[in-house]
Amino acid sequence: MTLGSFSALSSRARKAQRGAGIALPFRLALRGLIRSPGNSALAVGILVLGLAAPVTFFSILTGSLRHLPVPQGHRVVRAEVSSPRTAGGAVPVTLRDLDLIQGASSLDEIGAFRTSQGTLVDPDEAAVRVSVATLTPDVLSLLRTVPALGLVPAEEAASEGLLLGFDVWQEAYGGSPDVLGRAVFLDDEQRMITGVMPEGFGFPFRQNAWAFFPRDRDDPVPVEIVGRLADGASLEAASVELSGLWARGEGLREPVRQGGAVEVDSFTGGRGERGEGVAFLGLVLVALALLMIACANVANLLLVRASDRIRSLGIQASLGAGKAHLSLQLFFEALLLALLGGGGGLLLAWVGIDAIQNALAAEHFGYFWMRMAVDIRVVAFASVLVGGTALFSGTIPILRLLKTDLQVVLKERGDGAVFGGGGRWNLRFVGLQLALSCAALVAAGLTGQSLAKSRDFGADLPSTEILVASVDPLAGTDEAQSGWPGRLGALEEGLAGLAGTRSVALALGAPGYLEPFGPFEVQGREALRDVDRRGVLWNAVTPEYFSVLDLEIISGRGLGTQDGAGAPPVAVVSAGFAGRHLEGEEPLGRRLKVSGADTATLFSIVGVVEDAELGGGSDAIAERVYLSLPQLSSRPVLALLRSETEAASLAPGLRGSVADVDPRIPVWSVRSLADGHAFMTRVPRAMASISLAGGLGGLMVAAVGLYGLLAFRVRQRRR
């Protein structure tokens, strides 16, 4: 090629590049990524890990800080009264107080509610345990929420009406519309079902049935205040106005409730332990730091790519491509990688968020508005991260390009020309990454060990064959202690008749599931101070309990029918308890107190039973004390049914068997003992999984950083 033809070619190339605008740099960037699939896939993989972590934690953060899922939920507020007389604690508020603060201009509407647990009894159905919110008629109006089926009862008859939650309607009535107008009993008070609330509605916290206060306001039991802010009103203005209205009733209140001030806050604000938001925000910041490291490592990979084709960039420059076009090409490479990484990270975050939601949110978070999901806010956050990632990852190669004389590059021989510089900071940066990643890997190893233990929790028990369910034997009756043993016996007998049942027992809990824990004292070894008292897992059980769990009596005897109400209080202790707390002594005949059961009663040890091995490592607690359930009137209780096959086979007929004994006895939380153990360990398992994934992800990011640095240094030394 002659000099003239090369000049003409260069001139035509310059004109073509000016006419192409940003399309040509984009096509060249895409072509370059396709031609080096390994390097591109590695960069995308690192960005997927780097972007998934902050998106996941941001979703958890936003899920825990949501407003009520009702129209304009951000305007729904709660009002609490605090007073110096109660050391800044909440002052009880009654319905009579609500009348005094009505009419505030800063609130469109104001109402009150109270929560409780109740038993819903329908003569034609099995009893249902429900979480009830009793409301003033204004509450549903200020929430801008109406029943999905039926109507809110008229105000004059509101105290006789009842609204069901969607889940209760489905589970207890099969979703039948004939439920409207049915006469039922809620804790012995007759009500009429007038409506079914929308699916997912659980105001105020996680309730599934709603009753209404009678028109008579003379009710001394405390309530909670809820309202809707007026347009343009602030929380501070509402607090000042309600405090003034509250002060008008000072003379009508007892001294302990005088001198208070009203504080208005978002209804969902500050719920829980008041530290979840800060903790989740901290996780987001840590994840963003990981993303910055990932971006820096991707920038190193892009430097390696640019070094490999520096002569190609020089030829483009000689053909008329300016450094602006070349810089745009490098930026598009970073942008394409960031977009692919963002899409993959969002998908990975969606999978992780869904797993966290299924594992924790249903019962752990406790509030119906808490929901982890990839919504518009999460997508917007991810989009910002993608843009920031492209800028961060593309800046370093672009800066190196601007400092490089591409004409000199073309004059050099070989393919060893690279961008100049590098500096020691890269080496130190990667060294710091490796150090932190190794520490994170050690932590991940420990949490991985914890995860393995939690997955084995309860594995040594026949937990897959045992169905557990909470029941209230005294629901709907006036029987006290005198009728307690009879109710237990009737319930056990009725459950034993369920087809496929091998054995049945009643207890306060099961090993590793809902077991009570409290201080104890062995007679003759009393602690002088409460803080010196040691705690122990204890349980109150019926005689068949040990048979259901395949636990053998080692010495003495087990619990029997003779250990009923009026008989001397007795206890059976585990071998672990006897070995640790009665070492070298004969346990039979010793007496002890269990504070959680009865602070005054001395229980005589009549037997020693083998330990209930839960697995999950050597640190699993083995010491237990078993008392006789008929001697302790405690409600509710846990029914344990040992199946001849799998626990799930007993679930369909359980409610019917209980209803045959007494249709007023509610049944809830029906699950296998294995599922119960999974429920009890759900939080440590989830946290361990997150920690393990974070540690491994950090190590992979650091490994890529080391690879990028070494590859860049190798190319520098090939001159």
Kindly report, residue by residue over 113-153, the tens digit of the pLDDT: 999 999 998 877 778 899 999 999 899 999 999 999 999 99
Portion of the chain with pLDDT greater than 90, in percent: 31
Residues 6+ apart with CB under 8 A from 716: 418, 422
Contact 46, 298 (CB under 8 A): yes
pLDDT value at residue 209? 97
**Mean per-residue pLDDT, 498-514:** 93
Residues 6+ apart with CB under 8 A from 577: 536, 622, 623, 624, 625
pLDDT value at residue 502? 94
Range scoring the smallest mean pLDDT among 89-98, 196-205, 446-455, 554-563 = 446-455
Portion of the chain with pLDDT greater than 70, in percent: 74
**Mean per-residue pLDDT, 604-631:** 83
Kindly report, residue by residue over 368-392, the tens digit of the pLDDT: 888 778 888 888 888 888 888 888 7
Is the pLDDT at 187 greater than 50, yes or no? yes
Please provide the average confidence, as pLDDT, over all residues in the chain. Answer: 80
**How far is residue 342's CA from residue 47's CA, in Å, rounded to a whole number?**
7
**Integer angstrom CA distances of residue 122 from 14, 128, 151, 185, 485:** 85, 9, 20, 7, 25
**How far is residue 200's CA from residue 373's CA, in Å, rounded to a whole number?**
15
**How far is residue 65's CA from residue 55's CA, in Å, rounded to a whole number?**
15
**Mean per-residue pLDDT, 172-179:** 90
**Mean per-residue pLDDT, 304-318:** 62
Distance of CA 1 to the CA centre of its chain: 70
Is the pLDDT at 277 greater than 80, yes or no? no
Q: 48 — phi, psi (to 5°)? A: -60, -45
Burial class (CB in 10 A: 0-12, 13-18, 19+), 85: middle
Q: Which sign, positive or negative, has the C-alpha torsion 138, 140, 142, 146? A: negative
Q: DSSP for 432-466? A: HHHHHHHHHHHHHHHHHHHHHHHHTTTTTTTGGGE
Q: 409 — phi, psi (to 5°)? A: -60, -40
**Mean per-residue pLDDT, 448-463:** 71
Bridge partners of residue 118, in order along the sequence: 130
pLDDT value at residue 208? 94
More confident residue, 660 or 269: 660
Q: Considering just the CA atoms, what is the radius of gyration of the chain in Å?
A: 34
**How far is residue 690's CA from residue 695's CA, in Å, rounded to a whole number?**
9
Q: Which sign, positive or negative, has the C-alpha torsion 185, 187, 191, 193? A: negative
Range scoring the smallest mean pLDDT among 450-454, 587-591, 615-619 = 615-619
Range scoring the smallest mean pLDDT among 93-97, 182-186, 456-460, 493-497 = 456-460
**Integer angstrom CA distances of residue 442 from 64, 173, 563, 693:** 30, 52, 52, 12
More confident residue, 51 or 403: 51
Q: Give residue for tokens 């009880």.
A: 92
pLDDT value at residue 47? 84
pLDDT value at residue 16? 47
